[in-house]
Structure 1
């Protein structure tokens, strides 16, 4: 594992470019900073300044190399690199609450934006290169985002066969709190999500529509991702990633282990100045909480992204959080270092 301290401010969201040599992140304000890896160091090479509210979501399309951002100003921007500068295109989402998250589709011909308006905006480019927006009710689990103007009609999936835009594929629930994050498995046959009631849930596509939920006494989880078809990593206010294992044959979801690191490893390579900044961020002196967390991150983890291997067999993943730092986790090293930990 390795830790990189970027900012004094929390990192609210991030996204990697295709070859993982650059990372775009938001320092908890209306800007996006792009850093480039230079040996063991990270150098800031761009600042994207167009939003007038906090940036809440970033996604970087690997093939088209376009960045999409959304924010509390209820807008989204698509950024294109031209002659060494990132040029924004405004996308009007037609929502009356803040945009909260954004993701490109696998073909990069459209993107989805979640919002506080209880709507999901599906945005796509027409031939004239104007970005259009359609809305779908976010009260359902899985629904069709097929847009006949820009793509061929897809075949049936385990979630359903009817494909008109906004068609409910599967509906239901799991967990008793609001949902912080969702993620499909590599096959697309499983959907995982984490809720504010400290619950992680997995839904299985198909006729049965099986849902399994696991509650814990831990603090709420804020982000989740599949690292194999059966293994899920989640993280949140407890400041460390957690492994969950889903067994489709048994229909069970179990706790797989806390992915933690010893204190000395977390502090390795951090200067005295950075340690002081960490103390200032946690307000440990003024609040009387001078105990160092025995974890890599020193505050809540807000996002997980995959670095190598993808959701079918991830070998490295990345976390960013409210401590302004980034952690890089090697799956094989975790298995070797932690007794009884097995990722399947």
Structure 2
């Protein structure tokens, strides 16, 4: 009888030991085997206040977890992170293991969306792109004046044109339009400050804002990156000599909605704050968002003697040092365009 008792006790111990070994094997297997996710990945939304148990249950119901959801719960508890998961929208890639999944949702590496602000855009174009984004939280009324928008950003006395840096921005769903604009604004501040601190000497600017204004004009005048310093050189020399800039993009900007796509001779004579044919110096504000290349050109203009340039019709320009040469170039290239037309 006593031998039987010890025999049964031994068998029980063996069974428990085998059970523990099996559970450890299953647990180790669980932590290292990827979730059942196809190549497109899986979108997982974790609402505010969700628990690791609810997350595990959802993954099990969606057949991403092969084992019981309790395995994921135990793994999170064993690592001491069960209460550290972050709410948000996540994209779980194929071949993600349970351990990697936990690291992702604890770190808050949520799904990112993107919006590109294109160099040369005006502020109304920036607003339209933001308003059309499906993933930004819209807090700015479409009829809200630009001055009010700048006030909400914390810059009540600034004109918005040219103040935002053209780039591709990544953000989680639900980011507010105000936060997005603040980020683009700060990017421009950072780039402009850096370029201004490393500028060439003896430039005809009173402040970095003047450089921003000229950079915006260079942006609209130049289709070729390599020509930007050359165009900047022309404008800088004209400013230094007290010559008017006489650049069409500023006239077009001043016309606003009155511009129908065809710039006429009478438009060049129509005085506005932005008409650089009728007014000397720089216009009062930028006319678009300049790229980093345009900023650098404005602050590092090419040396030379050219004071004029005219479009060749292929995106490039012919540069001239004298008005006589410029008139001849205008005549030649206008004739070429007329013949091609």
TM-score of the two chains, using structure 1 as the length reference: 0.26
Structure showing greater radius of gyration is: 2
Higher helix share: 2
